[in-house]
Amino acid sequence: MGLKRVVVTGLGALTPIGNNIEEYWNGLANGKSGCAPITYFDTEKFKTNFACEVKDYNPTDFFDRKEARKLDKFAQYAIISSEEAIKDAALDLEKVDKFRVGVIWGAGIGGLETFQEEVIGYANGDGTPRFNPFFIPKMIADIAPGHISIRNGFMGPNYTTVSACASSANAMIDALNYIRLGHCDVIVTGGSEAAVTIAGMGGFNAMHALSTRNESPETASRPFDATRDGFVLGEGAGALILEEYEHAKARGAKIYAEVVGGGMSSDAYHMTAPHPDGIGVERVMLNCLKDAGVSPEQVDAINTHGTSTPLGDVAELKAISKVFGDHTSKININSTKSMTGHLLGAAGAIEAIASILAMKHSLVPPTINHTTVDENIDPSLNLTLNKAQKREIKYAMSNTFGFGGHNACVLFKKLDE
């Protein structure tokens, strides 16, 4: 039995540079920074006092107060972005076979704010365990796809992938495989995260993982720049409707792109640092190309993991040069994290969406905030610095890597009917 083709028929996003797909793309195309001083809590004693928060967000614009109290922000973001994607895909919930519609979602942490609030509440009390009855169902990472499924009646596979910052890319790869093996017709996939919290900022600061460029937060996320000093924490969600090609055609769905391959690998090296030679990163891209049946010379654009860390950026670019050889200089390489910050478990989803929209609009979003050349980076690489570049894109790759050495890579193709 041959594998079925899988396409993207719907998109949804809630990000630090736009609260829906249209706003998100406009932010990407115009090189908008989503970074600003944190508004959620007092950061006076923190090493880093900025992040990429979702702007102008009020949960009661989407949920009644009673429902909002039962949902951690990461689950709220998941529901909102998935509903946009379902609407964008024009899925008729009365006609679709709900037993063949699944939800596979990514979250690296889950309900961190809920966990934090409950523990602080207990610590400040008299020792009596007065916990919110919704504490556990608000916190657990798998609750986001659970809510999406319950709200829409989808009764296919339903679970969360957890692989740190590769989580939503792994979710997309699982969704791809379920559909192309014939187990599902449609899967809602993507990821969400809401870790801009006291615990999130404090924990990443303790690891010396975050930028401390407090004097100029809007320029703090600066992938590939010689003065980069760590990533910028972001939050939000991205959702994609993956659908079997013939199923999409039969209902007259618009198609954004085809998902032609996914690759996974492990660094097997260190808890948080990438392998300095990029061995795992090299392997994940090779695995993805092999899965897709695509040669390195066919790839036009790569949205890198590109977190703006001193070690990670160089290791990834070294791996890209090894995989793509002489063709590397012909590829538009970029990092949209320069604008959105790092959305952890949601990064793979919003960056895949950026790749798909770049393909649709024939425009590669920029890597902003680059001012100083890093002598450790090959100067022949086109890193799409500071300004978007017009480009016809047939194949676009999206890379994501997570603490623990988890690597995931997804390849999209402009539809060739």
The angle at the Cα of 244, spanning 108 to 152, to the nearest 5 degrees, equals 60
Q: Is 52 designated active site?
A: no
Angle (nearest 5°) at CA 168 between 32 and 178: 135
Residue 144 tokens read as 């986001």
Active site residue 147: no
Strands 301-303 and 332-334: parallel
Catalytic residue among 247, 342, 370, 406: 342
Q: What is the SS3 assignment for 165?
A: strand
Structural tokens at position 320: 């890209």
DSSP code for 2: P
Give one DSSP letter per residue of 248-302, joined into a string.
Answer: HHHTT----EEEEEEEEEE--S-SSSPPTT-HHHHHHHHHHHHHHT--GGG--EE
Instruction: Tell me how far apart the alpha carbons of residues 289 and 302 are, in angstroms, rounded to a whole number.
Output: 12
- How many residues does this entry show for the chain? 417
Which one is catalytic: 147, 247, 275, 305? 305
Reply yes or no on whether 165 is catalytic: yes
Residue 162 near residue 344, CB atoms below 8 Å? no
Q: What angle do CA 323, 400, 152 make, to 5 degrees?
A: 135
3-state helix, strand, coil in the chain (%, to 5): 35, 20, 40
Catalytic residue among 52, 165, 288, 409: 165
Residues that are catalytic: 165, 305, 342
